[in-house]
Structure 1
Amino acid sequence: MDQKGLLKSFQALREKYGDVFTIYLGSRPAVILWWYEAMKEALVDQAEAFSGRGHIAIIDPVFQGTGVVFANGKSWKVLRRFSVTTMKDFGMGKQSIEERIKEEAQCLVEELQKSQEKVQAEIDRVIGAHCLPTLEDRAKMPYTDAVIHEIQRFSDLVPVGVPHSVIKDTHFRGYYLPKRFYKYTEVFFLFSALQDPRHFEKPNTFYPGHFLDAQGNFRKPEVFIPFSMGKRLCLGESLARSELFLFLTTLLQNFSLGSPKAPEDIDLTPRENGLGRPPTLFQVRFLPRR
């Protein structure tokens, strides 16, 4: 296994052993599911069986199986129910949170110049120069929405999903997965879904057209699952989607982003540190548009 290229190493194993295979992380076996179809079968079609949370050695001593992300059993169900209710009361992704996001709208977005110009043209046409963006504008801005989704797909900051475990003895695609929390961990690769050449025409290229139909309308392929799916779906998805839209439109309404380097000198090769892809350090220039 190449520690600096774990995903490529896993991909090579998938090509040899198929969409479902087992590896050992130290002394602990881990079941790897590849492609969207396998993940959907587990996380949606057998959602209850696969709703347990797996174990991560470097995280377990800190959280000790607590919190809405890492808890299991009854405590997790209570925490999730409470979290969902609290976020709804807070206005997750709704008008009440929109004002807060506008006030804090500062973000750093890496984007190709051509896409930036198209987004700014759409912002100028739909929103104008003097009005603040609102969530209602999103439906009238298909290209901007496509760029935001392509940024998430292309960057794929957490390509390996947080591990799950089965909460009961389970049969999956001819394999038997026993209920053993500390012995069996299922790891789901979101990377394989977001980079699937069967669903994304240019998986290794930044291409907003992945999220546009022939008429230029926004479309979201079902394999686009950066927030996972099933019972462990990220609670903050709605809030995150709202923030991304408002932050990006507010930023590009007022600034053009540029780099001191020539485009051909910018390295977009993702860095890997195990389960994640930390952002690469780079310099960016903010050029006022008005």
Structure 2
Amino acid sequence: MEPLGTSTVLLVICLSCLLLSAIWKSQANKRRKMPPGPTPLPIIGNALQLKTNRLDLTLCKLSEKYGPVYTLHFGMKPVVVLHGYDAVKEALIDQAEEFAPRGKMPLVDKLVQGKGIVFSNGERWKQLRRFALTTLRNFGMGKKSIEDRIREEAQYLLEQLQATKERPFDPTFLLNCATSNIICSIVFGKHYDYDDKKFLAIMAIMNDNFEIASSRWGRAANIFPSFMNLIPGPHQRMGTNLEKSKEFVMEEVEAHRETLDPSSPRDFIDCFFIKLDQEKNNEASEFTTENLLMSTIDLFTAGTETTSTTLRYGLLILQKYPEIEEKVRKEIDQVVGRSRLPCMADRGQMPYTDAVLHEIQRFISLIPLSVPHSVAKDTLFRGYTIPKDTIVFPLLTSVLHDGKEFPNPTQFDPQHFLNKDGTFRKSDYFMPFSAGKLICAGEGLARMELFLFLTSILQNFKLKPLTDPQDIDIKPHLSSIGNVPQHYRLCVVPR
């Protein structure tokens, strides 16, 4: 190499080191005011501490040393972790305004670019979320009409289960189709057949994206976005999957536009178009075609994946504990009988079944870190200063697995939600849907679906595992953004 070339390379290296050192010292000054935490390494931050199969349990363990509020570094970026009920409640409820903004997730932000409802912020989030909640309520969410739709869909699901004729099958897509059809009735105004190829393809895409996001690849893409953008891997598939989802939704959007009758809206898409037309001259309006597309995908995805995964996890757990499954079935027979499907009015008379449903959600901690928050301004919290825009993770697993509230929290035990006299026991620590301003908008719908679908299945079928129940593994198959159950097959035996 020429001497000049060597000198140039050395100069660049020296300048780069000086720049990194300056940045690191600047951040060190900020860190002194932030909550304590493990010392980060240059560039990689606390990546070595996060190299784990169960991110949520690792974060719980770190709290034993650093307390209920501590700082980690995802690469060069600091994030604050909230551990335990008191810290989570204080931030999300008592200081709701300061902790209201949605935190950045590089893997997702790169794809959605702040559009839609779930990953937007500020005025866009306010306008779109308010509109979505109003529209969903107008189309029956939380009302008797949506209950009737769920019970009707439960009948479709039972027919599909009957058609398995006691042969082994993977329940993933049947449960996906059942839960998705409920939100589809609101968003698209239609019902899809369980053998519709386009519909099944979209179910596969949503399932794939949830698993990728919950894998180590997804975690690495959020910690080292610039580096991970350059290398191949499953995380690169998420962009292709999203484009396919957009194509699916765009077909529905275009068909709705052509047949729109403003005097008689049929569903969410129609209502959005009406609002879009009303505000076409308002430059501050967030009602645009791009936000319609992403909002529809948000509702479609959120209304499908989380509820179906909870049901799938629940069926796996009940196979491991057949005595619990049988007690639920006995209560169903006593309260509902066999001549009709269960309804929501039955739930109040079924404390054991209610406890089992709560325990499933508590035990699996489906979204263990919640969806990330951030702070709207420099925020004083428990004597520390959290700088504006810092990502905050409310560690929901630490609340759902609190040992004082739930004895033996790592064990599946419906008694966690039962009083000594057998009545149902409520708990403020039950927050699988998060809390505060960013609490899941579909909580009521999800709770209704979980009860009606699970009780309908157990009323009509017995679960038959393919292995000894003692050998069934109910630990997550993947664990990061979500806790994803092991893949499995089972048989269902008609009663």
Q: TM-score range by the shorter chain?
A: over 0.9
Q: Describe the SS at the equivalent of 2:89.
A: helix
How much does 1:13 deviate? 1.5
Match of 1:65 in 2: 114
- 3-state DSSP class of the match of 2:489? coil
What is the rounded CA distance, in whole Å, between the counterparts of 2:363 and 2:142 in structure 1? 23
Per-residue CA deviations over 1:82-124 (Å, capped at 9, x if unaligned) read 0110111121132100111112224442212111111111111
Match for 1:118 among 324, 327, 333?
327
1:12 to partner: Cα distance: 2.5
**CA-to-partner distance for each residue in 1:22-81, whole Å, 9 max, x for gaps?**
010011100000001100000000001100010011100111112221111111111111
Question: For residue 218 of structure 1, what is the amino acid of its counterpart?
Answer: F
How big is the shift at 1:201?
Answer: 1.2
- Compare the two structures and name the one with the higher helix fraction: 2
**Separation (CA, whole Å) in 2 of partners of 1:51 and 1:151:** 28
Check conservation: 1:3, 1:274, Cα contact below 8 A: no
* Distance in structure 1 (CA, Å) of the matches to 2:446 and 2:54: 28
Task: Give yes or no for contact 2:359–2:416 (8 Å, CA) kept in 1.
Answer: yes
1:25 to 2:74 alignment: yes
**Aligned match of 1:248:** 454
- Structure 2 contact 474–485 (Cα < 8 Å) conserved: no
Picking from 94, 98, 101, the partner of 2:147 is 98
Count the aligned residue pairs.
286
| CA deviation string 1:183-219 (max 9, x = no partner) | x111111111111101001211110011111111112
Letter in 2 for 1:51: A
Q: Using the alignment, how far apart are the partners of 1:199 and 1:37 within structure 2?
A: 12
- Find out whether 1:131 has 2:340 as its counterpart: yes
Shift in Å, 1:11: 2.2
What is the 5 A alignment of 1:50-61?
50-61=99-110
What is the rounded CA distance, in whole Å, between the counterparts of 1:132 and 1:261 in structure 2? 30
Determine whether 1:140 maps to 2:344.
no
Aligned to 2:471: 265
- SS of residue paired to 2:360: helix
The partner residue of 1:153 within 334, 355, 362 is 362
Partner of 2:212: none
1:175 equivalent in alignment to 2:384: yes
1:74 to 2:123 alignment: yes
Greater C-alpha radius of gyration? 2
Give the root-mean-square deviation of aligned CA atoms.
1.2
Q: Which one is further off, 270-279 or 189-198?
A: 270-279
Deviation at 1:276, TM superposition (A): 1.5
Tell me which amino acid in the other structure corresponds to 1:114: E
User: For residues 178 and 148 of structure 1, what CA distance do their matches in structure 2 show?
Assistant: 39
Alpha-carbon shift at residue 9 of structure 1 (Å): 2.4
Aligned partners of 2:373, 2:60: CA distance in 1, in Å?
A: 20
Aligned to 2:41: none
CA contact (8 A) 1:146 1:212 kept: yes
| In 2: Cα distance, 1:8 partner to 1:201 partner | 17
Matched position secondary structure for 2:371: coil
Which deviates further from its counterpart, 107-116 or 234-243? 107-116
Q: Kindly state the Cα deviation for residue 274 of structure 1 after the two structures are TM-superposed.
A: 2.4
1:37 aligned to 2:246?
Answer: no
Residue 285 of structure 1: CA displacement?
A: 1.4
Relative to structure 2, which stretch is displaced further, 60-69 or 6-15? 6-15
1:146 and 1:211 in contact (8 A); partners too: yes
SS in structure 2 opposite 1:58?
A: helix
Question: Per the alignment, in what secondary structure is the counterpart of residue 380 of structure 2?
Answer: strand
Contact 2:100 2:375 in 1 (8 A): yes
Distance in 2 of aligned mates of 1:150 and 1:274? 20
Q: Given that residues 164 and 185 in structure 1 are in contact (C-alpha distance below 8 angstroms), is that contact kept between their aligned partners in structure 2?
A: yes
SS for the counterpart of 2:484 is coil
Distance 1:120 1:8 in 2: 33
Q: Runs of 5+ in structure 1 lacking a partner?
A: none
- Structure 2: which amino acid aligns with 1:113? P
Letter aligned with residue 378 of structure 2: D
Of 271-280 and 52-61, deviating more is 271-280
Equivalent-residue separation in structure 1 for 2:351 and 2:55 (angstroms): 35
Give the 3-state SS of the residue equivalent to 2:107 in structure 1. Answer: coil
CA apart distance, 1:178: 2.2
Counterpart AA for 2:331: E
Other-structure match for 1:162 = 371
Partner of 2:418: 212
Give the deviation of 1:3 after TM superposition.
3.0
CA deviation vs aligned residue, 1:240-285 (integer Å, no higher than 9, x gap)? 0000000011101100112021112111222334222122111211
2:146 matches 1:88: no
Q: Which moved more, 1:84-93 or 1:30-39?
A: 84-93
Unmatched runs of 5 consecutive residues or more in structure 2: 1-48, 158-174, 176-311
Alpha-carbon contact 2:369-2:394 (below 8 Å) kept: yes
1:231 Cα offset (Å)? 0.4
- How is 1:230-245 mapped onto 2 (pairs within 5 angstroms)? 230-245=436-451
Percent same amino acid among aligned pairs? 50
2:95 paired residue number: 46
The one-letter code sitting in structure 1 at the alignment partner of 2:80 is V
Contact 2:374–2:392 (CA under 8 A) maintained in structure 1:
yes
Given residue 245 of structure 1, which amino acid in structure 2 is its aligned partner?
F
The one of 381, 385, 400 equivalent to 1:194 is 400
Q: What amino acid is aligned across from residue 79 of structure 1 in structure 2?
A: L
Secondary structure of 1:256 counterpart: strand
Q: Which amino acid is the alignment partner of residue 26 of structure 1?
A: G
Given that 1:153 and 1:194 are in contact with CA atoms closer than 8 Å, whether structure 2 keeps it comes out as yes
